[in-house]
C-alpha cells in the first residue's frame, strides 16, 4: 500500500472521530493533500505549489502571492485549539518581503465561498479600501502574520489604500514583526465600507528584531477602550522572523531554523487566551503570552477622513478551518511551510530527538524522556504536563508522513534503514542499522497521556494524542564506535549495546 494512500486513510479516520483532532500533514510529498484547496482571489494568480520541500506559498519573485485553505478539514472550537508548523523564509537577500499569514476561518462557510484577502502587506488576510479595494478573508476569525517587511501591522490612510492597524503608538521596529489580527467586520457601516471592508483589527504585534531594552517592543489592543498600549520585552531575545540564507534549514542545529507554536485556551468569560511561541535555532520563547481575545472589543476603524472607535462582535465560530497565505512586493522571498500539526490544548507533547548511532550496532535510547502528557488527578487547573503522565502503551510507530504503520508485532518494525524496537515496559527504543547503512535514520511516533496505565480521562482519549514526534539517529563510524560509547539525550546518558 502506498504511503499516500495510508496517509489519506489516516486523515479519513481522524475525520470520522468528529472532532478533527489530532491532525498532521507534512506537505513534503510533492502532492496536494485531498483536504487542501488553492483558493483564488480575483485578479491575483495563486503561486502556491506543493513540493517535496514543503508547501511553497511563493517563489522569490516580485509581486506574487499564494494561499491554501484546508477546506475539507474542520476543527471544533469549544475546547480551544493548538497548532504548530515549521516555516522557512529565504532566498530574497537582506531586505526580503512580504511575509506569511496563517489563519483561522469560520468552518461553517461553504467552501465554494472561501476567498483570500488583500495581498501585499495584507498577507491574504485583511482588507484594503481605496483604489486597490479588496475585501478581507471571508469568515476570518484570527490571522497571524510572520511579517519580515512589517506592513501587516500598519495603518494606511491614503487615497489608494485605506486600512486599520496600529494607531496612536509607534512600534520599536517597523520590520520583522509577529502580529495578530482579529475578526472580519460584516456590518455595512457606510457606502465606502461594505461587508468585508471593515474589522480585522490589529490585536497584538511584536518587533522581534528590536533590542530587548527597546520601549514599545510589543504593542497590544486594550479591548475595553480600543486604545493601544506599548510594553517592553526585556526577556525576549533579538531575532529576525525570517531565517534568511539561500537554502532550507533542516533542523534546530541551524540558527536559521524557524517553528511556530500557537495555543488558544478558552477563557471563562468567553473568547480565548492566546499564546504564540517561536523557535529560532534551538531556542523557543514566548513572543505573545496569554493575550485575551474576548467575544467583543473596541477598536479604531480608519477612513480617509476620520478615525472612529467602534465595537466589533468577536465571538468565535463553533468550528474552525486553517489556512495559509504569503505574498511578495518590491521585496521578495521564498515562503515555505511544512509539518503542520493540530491538537487540542493539553494533548500530550513530544519533542524531536537527534541521537548518535554506530554502523551495525544495536543502540538503545529513551526518546520519551523529554516528552510530557497530562493527568486528571490532583485537580490542577490548568493541568501541568509531566513525563510521569505518559502511557507507555500508547506509543505508535508512524511513517515519515505521520501515518500509522500497520501490523506492528511485538513492538518491532524493520525498514530499509534498520530495525526499530519499542519496549512498552520502559518507554525505551532500540535501533540496529541495516548492514551497510550509514546516514540519518528517521522514524516518527506519537503518544497519549492519562497516567502510566492510561486510565485517566479525558487525557487518555484519542482527541488528546500528541502530534507526531521525529526521532533521528545519525549513524556514523565517527561516533566513537571503536568502543562502547555514551549517547546524550539532554541531561540523560545511555550506553550503546554492543
Are residues 314 and 281 part of one domain? yes
- Co-location of 93 and 210 in the same domain: yes
Asked whether the predicted pLDDT for residue 400 surpasses 60, the reply is yes
Instruction: Out of 300, 320, 343, pick the residue that ends a domain.
Output: 343
For residues 324 and 372, state if they share a domain: no
Same domain, 217 and 100: yes
Asked whether residue 156 falls in the same domain as residue 230, the answer is yes
* Model confidence at 493: pLDDT above 80: no
Look up the domain containing 381 and give its range: 353-495
pLDDT of 195 reads: 81
Q: For residue 125, which of 183, 174, 207 has the smallest C-alpha distance? A: 183
CATH number of the domain residue 285 falls in: 2.60.120.200
What is the per-residue pLDDT across 158-185, written as a single tens digit (0 to 9) for each?
A: 878 889 999 899 999 999 999 999 999 9
> Does 278 share its domain with 385?
no
pLDDT digits (tens, 9 = 90+) for 296-332: 999 998 876 677 899 999 999 999 999 999 999 889 9
Query: Confidence class of residue 10 from pLDDT cuts 50, 70 and 90?
Result: very low
Residues 6+ apart with CB under 8 A from 5: none
Question: What are the strands, taking DSSP E only, across 139-282?
Answer: 140-147, 156-158, 161-163, 177-181, 184-185, 198-199, 202-207, 218-221, 228-231, 258-266, 272-280
The answer to whether residue 14 is domain-embedded is yes
Same domain? 204 vs 252: yes
Rounded Cα distance, 468 and 466, in Å: 6
Q: Is 279 helix (H, G, I), strand (E, B) or coil?
A: strand
Instruction: For 110-170, list the strands marked E by DSSP.
Output: 140-147, 156-158, 161-163
Q: Within a domain: residue 260? A: yes
Domain edge (last residue) among 316, 343, 370: 343
- Answer yes or no: is 348 within a domain: no
Question: What is the CATH classification number for the domain harbouring 379?
Answer: 2.60.40
Q: Which residue has the cell 554506530?
A: 358
- In this structure, the answer to whether residues 369 and 309 fall within a common structural domain is no
* Average pLDDT of every residue of the chain: 89
Q: pTM of this prediction?
A: 0.90
Whole-number Å distance between alpha carbons of 63 and 44: 10
The CA distance from 307 to 219, in Å, is 19
DSSP readout, 308-336?
EEEEEE-PPPSEEEEEEEEE-SSS--EEE
Residue 435 lies in a domain: yes
> Which candidate, 260, 245, 151, 144, places its Cα nearest to that of 204?
144
User: How many structural domains is the chain composed of?
Assistant: 2
Is residue 462 in some structural domain? Answer: yes
As a whole number of angstroms, the distance between CA 325 and CA 51 comes to 16
Amino acid at each position: 500500500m502506498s504511503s499516500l494512500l495510508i496517509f489519506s486513510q489516516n486523515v479519513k479516520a481522524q475525520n470520522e472521530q468528529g472532532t478533527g483532532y489530532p491532525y498532521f500533514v507534512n506537505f513534503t510529498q510533492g502532492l496536494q493533500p485531498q483536504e487542501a484547496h488553492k483558493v483564488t482571489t480575483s485578479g491575483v494568480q495563486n503561486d502556491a505549489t506543493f513540493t517535496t520541500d514543503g508547501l511553497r506559498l511563493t517563489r522569490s519573485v516580485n509581486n506574487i502571492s499564494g494561499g491554501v485553505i484546508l477546506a475539507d478539514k474542520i476543527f471544533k472550537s469549544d475546547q480551544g485549539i493548538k497548532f504548530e508548523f515549521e516555516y522557512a523564509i529565504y532566498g530574497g537577500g537582506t531586505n526580503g518581503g512580504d511575509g506569511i499569514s496563517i489563519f483561522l476561518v469560520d468552518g461553517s462557510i461553504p467552501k465554494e465561498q472561501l476567498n483570500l484577502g488583500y495581498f501585499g502587506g495584507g498577507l491574504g488576510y485583511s482588507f484594503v479600501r481605496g483604489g486597490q479595494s479588496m475585501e478581507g478573508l471571508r469568515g476570518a476569525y484570527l490571522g497571524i502574520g510572520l511579517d519580515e517587511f512589517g506592513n501587516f501591522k500598519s495603518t494606511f490612510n491614503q487615497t489608494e489604500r485605506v486600512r486599520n492597524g496600529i494607531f496612536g503608538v509607534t512600534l520599536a521596529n517597523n520590520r520583522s514583526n509577529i502580529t495578530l489580527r482579529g475578526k472580519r467586520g460584516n456590518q455595512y457601516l457606510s457606502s465606502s465600507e461594505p461587508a468585508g471592508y471593515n474589522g480585522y483589527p490589529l490585536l497584538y504585534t511584536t518587533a522581534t528584531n528590536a533590542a530587548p531594552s527597546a520601549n514599545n517592543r510589543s504593542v497590544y489592543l486594550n479591548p475595553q477602550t480600543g486604545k493601544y498600549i506599548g510594553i517592553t520585552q526585556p526577556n525576549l531575545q533579538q531575532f529576525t522572523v525570517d531565517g534568511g540564507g539561500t537554502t532550507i534549514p533542516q533542523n534546530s542545529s541551524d540558527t536559521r531554523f524557524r517553528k511556530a507554536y500557537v495555543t488558544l485556551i478558552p477563557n471563562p468569560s468567553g473568547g480565548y487566551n492566546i499564546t504564540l511561541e517561536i523557535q529560532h535555532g534551538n531556542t523557543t520563547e514566548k513572543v505573545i503570552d496569554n493575550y485575551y481575545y474576548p467575544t467583543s472589543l473596541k477598536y479604531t476603524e480608519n477612513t480617509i477622513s476620520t478615525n472612529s472607535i467602534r465595537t466589533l462582535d468577536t465571538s468565535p465560530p463553533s468550528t474552525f478551518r486553517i489556512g495559509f497565505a504569503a505574498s511578495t512586493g518590491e521585496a521578495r522571498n521564498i515562503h515555505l511551510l511544512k509539518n503542520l500539526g493540530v491538537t487540542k490544548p493539553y494533548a500530550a507533547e513530544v519533542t524531536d530527538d537527534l541521537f548518535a548511532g554506530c554502523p551495525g550496532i544495536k543502540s538503545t535510547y529513551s526518546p520519551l524522556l523529554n516528552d510530557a502528557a497530562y493527568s486528571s488527578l490532583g485537580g490542577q487547573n490548568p493541568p501541568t504536563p509531566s513525563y510521569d503522565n505518559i502511557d507507555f502503551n500508547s506509543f505508535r510507530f508512524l511513517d515519515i508522513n505521520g501515518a500509522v504503520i500497520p501490523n506492528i508485532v511485538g513492538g518491532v518494525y524493520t525498514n530499509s534503514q534498520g530495525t526499530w524496537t519499542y519496549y512498552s515496559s520502559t518507554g525505551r527504543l532500540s535501533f540496529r542499522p541495516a548492514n551497510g547503512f550509514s546516514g540519518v535514520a528517521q522514524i516518527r511516533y506519537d503518544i497519549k497521556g492519562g497516567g502510566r496505565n492510561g486510565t485517566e480521562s479525558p487525557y487518555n482519549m484519542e482527541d488528546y494524542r500528541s502530534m507526531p514526534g521525529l526521532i533521528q539517529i545519525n549513524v556514523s563510524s565517527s561516533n566513537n564506535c571503536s568502543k562502547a560509547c555514551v549517547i546524550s539525550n539532554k541531561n540523560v546518558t545511555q550506553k550503546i549495546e554492543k
